[in-house]
Structure 1
Amino acid sequence: MKLPAFAQKLLGRSGKVPVLRSFEGAGAGRRWSGFADMPSAIASMLASGGTLARRGRGLVANNGHAASGAEAWTSALVGTGLKVQARRPGVAQTFEGWTDEADADGLTDFYGLQATMARSMVVSGEAFALILPNGQIRQIDPEQVDRNLTQATAAGGRIVQGVEFDPAGRKIAFHIRRDQPGMPLAISYEIVRVPADRCIHMFRPIFPGQVRGLSWFAPVLLRMADFDRAIDAQLQRQLVASLLTGFVVAPNGDAGGFFGEQNGPVLQAGLEPGTMQVIPPGHDVRFSEAAPIGAEAIDFLKVTRDEVAAGLGVPSHVLSGDLSQANYSSLRAGLVEWRRRVEAIQHSVIVFQFCRPIWRNWLLQRALAGSPDMAGYFNNPADFEAAKWITPRFDWVDPLKDAEAEIAAIGAGLMSRRQAVAARGYDIEQLDAEIATDNARAQGLGLEFTTNRPRTIERESA
């Protein structure tokens, strides 16, 4: 049976019906050749997590934009620190006094640990810390949790890259090397099994069943490496262009009045600023032409930098520090979306995985020690553990408008003074005591300031 002409034209020379898909992204062909897909996210994570972490650390250590991105995320996520606001009066003040002793290594305080843990999470994809028997915290290198240890357990569970799960899939322990890899002198390669409730594992979960964290630089590692090489190439191009060279064309092959070092038939000579040189008639002087950087190269590098910033999840001006094209509206619009991401990670990752376990352990330690303010803890632990973690307040582009909006929110009952004060990194009881002391001192000295001081409202007796 002979097909109609339009059918023959549709089939083409091959005579086969072309295979088409409704979704172009699921199609096959020349444009998809060489493109790697991801059949299993867990398998890809297990295979690539260590490599991504190593390359992320190397890039941050050697690339200015990568270092800026890591510091930008750390500063935004932690700032001056996430502070607890406990339901039980006085407990938060006692915890604040303990924060200076939180670090077992004595390098920083509890809020500094938040920052170093957040930075490790951004660069390496995850952060680990041990809760010691005395309640102090010791941060450890993610590589101490053995990535090579993957096996079944005798109890019917499994160990996946150093993380142990029971048969129900609950995380129950971590297998940690006693000494940090890379330490000098003799080190122990012994692996210690640490119960999960004594270990903090902080990472951003991005797919179900995730065991270890992935570096936040994973989407842009290759692009940043190429960008770094492109910048180096342009710098070398400028260095070469700065090597201005002159050539004396001598018809008779003489030196033309120049003196220098003879290298075969070529005389290598130089001139210093202010030199006047007279050459014989018939000689010609020519100079090399420096190759300038084209505007298209500069524009392309800016586009690449913006792509890197988008992949890392930070505004472009935060990554580069370039505010030449920014204005109030563009800055505010860019910061609003970024700060939504920051707040989501603060509460769902840092508070949930780091702050709350340490808070609960601190309360338990005080209760076991018999502290008077912890009486009744074992009867109702949830009442003592109930707390809200206040994240650092973000400064907007216009601080005056931000302050006015905050005052209006307090006046309208949309937020409390305690929330506003805690967001600024202060304790409201201490702040109010300082204000009262300052006012009493100013009044005793007969000082009057132009700013309005809070008035003390005296209640009328019934």
Structure 2
Amino acid sequence: MGWIGRALDRAIGEIAPAAGRERMAARQAMGLAMNYDAASRGRRTEGWKAPATDGDAAAFGARERLRQLSRDMVRNRPYAARAREVVVSNVVGTGIVPSVVHADAGVQEQVWQVLSDHLLTPALDARGELDLYALQEVVIGTVFTDGEILARRRIRRGKYARELPLGFQVELIECDHLDTTITSWGRNEVIEGVEYSPIGDIEAYHLFTEHPGSARMRGALLRSERVSWRDVLHVRRLDRPGQLRGVPWLAPVMLTMGDLSDYQEAEILKQKMASLLAGIVTYDKDDAAASEVRKLRGLSKLEPGAVVAAPHGAQVSWTTPPRVEGYPDFLRENLGAIAMGIGITRESLTGDLSGVNFSSGRMGRMEMDRNVERWQRLVILQFCQGIERWVQEAWRLQKVLPGEAFGLSHTAPRRALIDPNDEIDAMIKAVEGGVNSRQNVQRTLGLDPERIRRERAEDETKDAAAGLAAPALQAPPGARDKRARQTTPAQTEEKPA
């Protein structure tokens, strides 16, 4: 800025201090933007989108289309379906296992007997089809595809609860049930069917009694009802501060996945064309064509090893089918980008382990395991602990075991061990060295410490009653081999007779 600009700033500052302050702030912002190439506006950044929206407004009005596109990709695109299965099988697997926490082992067993009859049977499902583990699978699968899912508590009383250990059931519903036509409820604001209190937290959900896209609409008009947040579990992944709604996990890779699918279809058509080999017969004289057409039957039925004579005066030229080049490399790079955008490894997405050694496979798996642990915590916090809250409320109301308070712990399924000998040996050393606890190691393996302790005590009691000696615990074979290699010659030297 030259002396004219400085003089103008001083003059404006003397005459209108507020305008001078705004002028200086604008100049500072412009200088800051000019220091970052990405913030500049020009040919290289043309078409870049940078809306100043919050976490929920970024997808406002687009969630419905995103959900529909994501569902279509899972239905019709093999890699989208595979990515969903990878996430579900790694996050839930055989189920996130609940266990009762109580000081008294007898009470713990009684409480677990009641809970297992309710949670681990189809009695928990409002449709009477799924248990807790199957519900977890549907939850994380829908969160992956739709970005969010609602679990509604259905209170059961009277004849509807005569066979239920606890008086409630869980109904899983898609977010299509949210009534987006309601904009307010008293002083509360309603956005896309979600009602917010004056302090900004979720107060209630306005849900259609039927799915808007159901094939068996029982009513002429859709009708919605207000459901308190206490009866709804809203499971979704939150990526930004203040965000309360979710988006499909395929959103960042939808364009890439669509383009890749179109490219595959084009390559398949190209391969079909490449497999076609045609012969074109030409004649030196036009008048010979009509009389010689009947003699082309042998030429039209070429077989391997056949010798066929062309008609007199005919010349046969062969077409050159297109060649397919670079397809594997192009497919590999794009599948890697899709896998990264979702948060899984390319090997788990494609099932292709060629070119992967033990170290690279383990490093990629470790990175994916961190994402899986985050997603497991999401299911535990938003769904499993919500089910626990409903269990506690029903327990107190029904007074199943009066005066007995208990808690629940949730153990995620174990991750697959790439090298069990070395990894288990490292876990044992960490426990012996005080770096880790035995309970924490057991939980990382998907095991319930309370159950292990109880079953080990039962084994010792039964073995003592049968007169059997307690089995000696041995280290893993790999650990024994390593310790044997570390033995010094002085320790292995035989003593003289």
TM bucket (normalised to shorter chain) is 0.7 to 0.9
| 1:370-403: CA deviation from partner (whole Å, max 9, x where unpaired) | 222x5154xxxxxx34x43221111122122233
Aligned to 1:402: 423
Residues 1:140 and 2:173 aligned together: yes
Aligned pairs for 1:254-273 within 5 A: 254-255=292-293, 257-259=295-297, 269-272=300-303
Paired residues of 1:82 and 1:390 also in contact (CA < 8 A): yes
1:152 maps to which of 173, 176, 184 = 184
Map of 1:71-86 to 2, 5 A cutoff? Answer: 71-86=85-100
Matches within 5 A, 1:447-458: none
Number of matched pairs: 415
Q: Which residue of 1 aligns with 2:205?
A: 174
Partner-residue secondary structure (3-state), 2:341: helix
- Give 1:114's aligned amino acid: Q
Do 1:127 and 1:142's aligned partners in 2 also have CA atoms closer than 8 Å?
yes
**Alpha-carbon spacing, 1:200–1:357, altered in 2? closer, same or farther (3 Å):** same
User: CA separation of 1:331/1:302 partners in 2, compared to 1, >3 Å: closer, same or farther?
Assistant: same
Cα 1:436/1:104, change in 2 over 3 Å: farther
Moved more, 201-210 or 220-229: 201-210
CA distance in 2, matches of 1:450, 1:289: 74
Cα 1:442/1:306, change in 2 over 3 Å: farther
Alignment-derived partner of residue 390 in structure 2: 361
Measure, in 2, the Cα distance between the counterparts of 1:54 and 1:440: 62
Q: Which residue of 2 aligns with 1:330?
A: 360
Partner AA of 1:330 in structure 2: S
Aligned to 1:299: 329
Rate the CA distance shift 1:26–1:258 in 2: closer, same or farther, 3 A: same
Alignment CA distance shift 1:312-1:418 (3 Å): closer
Give 2:41's aligned residue.
28
Aligned partners of 1:439 and 1:283: how far apart in 2?
94
Distance 2:34 2:443 in 1: 58
Question: Which residue, out of 134, 138, 148, partners 1:112?
Answer: 134
Tell me how far apart the structure 1 counterparts of residues 79 and 386 of structure 2 sit (CA, whole Å). Answer: 34
Instruction: Please give the secondary structure, in 1, of the residue aligned with 2:207.
Output: strand
- 1:49 paired residue number: 63
Letter of the aligned partner of 1:428 in structure 2? Answer: I
Residues 410 and 417, structure 1, Cα contact 8 Å, conserved in 2: no
| Structure 2 counterpart of 1:245 | 278
Alpha-carbon offset, residue 138 of structure 1:
1.1
Q: CA deviation at 1:443?
A: 6.9
For residues 222 and 277 of structure 1, do their structure 2 counterparts lie closer, same or farther at Cα, with a shift above 3 Å needed? same
Task: Give TM-score scaled by structure 1 length.
Answer: 0.81
Given the two structures, how large is their TM-score scaled by the length of structure 2? 0.76
User: Partner amino acid for 2:36?
Assistant: F
C-alpha distance after superposition, 1:75-114 (max 9, x if no partner):
1211122223443151455433422132222222101111
1:439, 1:250 → 2: CA distance?
96
* 2:374 is aligned with 1:344: yes
Displacement after TM superposition at 1:135 (Å): 2.1
What letter is aligned with 1:398? D
* 1:210-229 pair list within 5 angstroms: 210-229=243-262
Partners of 1:49 and 1:212 within 8 A in 2: no
Residue 122 of structure 1 aligns with which residue?
144
Letter in 1 for 2:199: A
- C-alpha separation in 2, matches of 1:306 and 1:135: 44
In structure 2, what is the Cα distance between the partners aligned to 1:452 and 1:298? Answer: 48
Shift of 1:72: 0.9
Confirm or deny: 8 A CA contact 2:412 2:443 kept in the other structure: no
Partner of 2:101: 87
Task: Measure, in 1, the Cα distance between the counterparts of 2:126 and 2:46.
Answer: 53
Deviations 1:321-365, CA, capped at 9 Å, x for gaps:
111021111111111122112212322x21111111111211221
**Mapped partners of 1:105, 1:282: distance in 2:** 78
Tell me the amino acid that sits aligned with residue 456 of structure 2: D
Alignment of 1:387-398 (within 5 A): 387-398=408-419
Among 375, 381, 406, the alignment partner of 2:403 is: 375
Aligned partners of 2:415 and 2:444 also within 8 Å? no
CA distance in 1 between counterparts of 2:256 and 2:79 reads: 12
Q: Structure 1 residues 333 and 213 mapped into 2: Cα distance closer, same or farther (>3 Å)? A: same
Contact 2:411 2:446 in 1 (8 A): no
Larger helix percent: 2
8 Å Cα contact 2:151-2:173 kept in structure 1:
yes
* CA shift in 2, pair 1:395/1:439, >3 Å: farther
Q: What is the deviation of 1:215?
A: 0.6
Q: What CA distance in whole angstroms lies between the structure 2 residues aligned with 1:98 and 1:432?
A: 26
The CA distance in 2 between the partners of 1:423 and 1:193, in whole Å, is: 42
Equivalent residue number for residue 309 of structure 2: 278
Quick one: which amino acid aligns to residue 65 of structure 1?
Answer: Y
- Secondary structure (helix, strand or coil) at the match of 2:295 reads coil
> 2:228 aligns to what?
195
Give me the identity figure in percent.
28
Q: Could you tell me how far apart the structure 2 residues matched to 1:232 and 1:443 are?
A: 70
Identify which range, 230-239 or 412-421, moves more after superposition. Answer: 412-421
**Take 1:38 and 1:77, find their aligned partners in 2: how far apart are those partners?**
33
Q: Structure 1 residue 410: deviation in Å?
A: 4.2
Q: Is there any run of 5+ residues in structure 1 with no aligned partner, and where?
A: 1-17, 261-267, 378-383, 454-462
Runs of 4+ in structure 1 deviating by more than 6 angstroms, as ranges, are 440-444, 448-451
- Amino acid in structure 2 at the alignment position of 1:214: V
Find the counterpart in structure 2 of residue 96 from structure 1.
Answer: 116
What CA distance in whole angstroms lies between the structure 2 residues aligned with 1:208 and 1:293? 48
- Asked if 1 retains the 8 angstrom alpha-carbon contact of 2:343 and 2:368, the reply is yes
**Unpaired stretches in structure 2, ≥5 consecutive residues:** 1-29, 156-166, 476-497
* 1:439–1:235 Cα change, 3 Å: farther
Q: How much is the aligned-residue C-alpha RMSD, in angstroms?
A: 2.9
Contact 2:205 2:228 in 1 (8 A): yes
Distance 1:440 1:247 in 2: 90
In structure 1, C-alpha distance between the alignment counterparts of 2:417 and 2:153, rounded to whole Å = 37
